[in-house]
Amino acid sequence: MDKSIEGQVQPVPGRVNPLTLAVTATAFLLCAGAFLVVLGIFNETLRWDIFSPRVEAVLWGVFFSSVTLGCFGAVLSSVLGIHRIAGSIRDLGPGRSGPEPRRRRYVAALLWLAVLMALVVAACAAANYLVLNHRTAVFTRVAAGQMEHLGPKLARSLQGLSAPPRDRALKETRELLSTLNGLSFVNRAELFLPDPADDSALWKFRAGGYSREEPGPQRFFIARESDRAVKLALEGDPGPLDELNRRRDFIRCFVVTDDRGTPAAVIRIEGNPRENFRDYPL
């Protein structure tokens, strides 16, 4: 027997090192958890609209599973590492250590990781832009469809507010707004009416919804850009209101006209951003 290989331990072909397997799996799971954490931070900070509630629930499940398995893997790696150290101490002998990797390789690996993360964030931002445009377009079409159905009834109820008795007209108007508020894609619906006694004020009528304000008619003075747009729309100039409707958010305003085609009111529909507009067949 050759003395140069005497006393050396020959590796068993096909044998898996438990410590290497545990460390590799743990590192992969922790990296996956860290990636999901960074993605979640960008999702909350930039208010991305890419992931539906069901997909977010799945990602949360993957994250917690990765972290849990990574913690158990870290404990298992520690136990196997201690066992490996104890075995090395018993079999302590002369050996050689490989050359230390250059620092440039570590820096290059970190740079590639940062570039990969930046590309993922940029791709998600682009996808969010497309998804948000689609969802707001679907919301606009759904809200417009509801106004085509309820708009004429609302216009008839507003005609009853011009002369007493007004109780029946108020009740019908409240019921129509409550119907809109009861839709899953609507958070709140508000009706704006002109104030005949003061051009600098408007009347707002609402019936429930997600708001701290009490339901019913309320008088207020025009102060915000949206209020001025509503006032101009009631005077026959819908341009500023159309400009607001072109924004990428879940708020749309519709002009309610009477039988002569004259603007009688403006209804503002605040959509529910958590509604899954992906399920609407439009």
- ∠ CA 189-190-196 to the nearest 5 degrees? 160
279 — pLDDT class (breaks 50, 70, 90): low
Q: Has residue 218 got a pLDDT over 80? A: yes
Residue 118, judged by CB atoms within 10 A of its CB (0-12, 13-18, 19+), counts as exposed
Q: Is this structure's pTM higher than 0.85?
A: no
Tokens of 84: 């490996």
Nearest to residue 73, comparing CAs of 32, 117, 14?
A: 32
Rounded to an integer, the average pLDDT of 248-261 is 85
Q: Are strands 201-206 and 263-271 parallel, antiparallel or unpaired?
A: unpaired
pLDDT one-digit tens code per residue, 55-79: 787 788 888 888 888 888 888 888 8
- Fold adopted by 136-279: Beta-Lactamase (3.30.450)
| Sign, Cα dihedral of 147, 151, 157, 163 | positive
Model pLDDT for residues 111-149, shown as the tens digit of each residue = 786 788 788 878 888 888 888 888 888 888 888 888 888
What are the residue boundaries of the structural domains of the chain, listed by start? 17-89, 136-279
Residue 207 has pLDDT above 90, yes or no: no
**Angle (nearest 5°) at CA 87 between 82 and 90:** 130
**178-206 pLDDT per residue, tens:** 888 888 888 888 889 888 888 888 988 87
Within 8 A by CB and 6+ apart from 53, the residues are 274, 276
Percentage of the chain modeled with pLDDT above 90: 6
Q: Say yes or no to pLDDT of 213 above 80.
A: no
Count the neighbouring beta carbons within 10 Å of the beta carbon of residue 80: 17
Give the three-state DSSP class for 196.
Answer: coil
Residues of the chain with pLDDT > 70, as a percent, come to 78
Is 13's pLDDT higher than 50? no
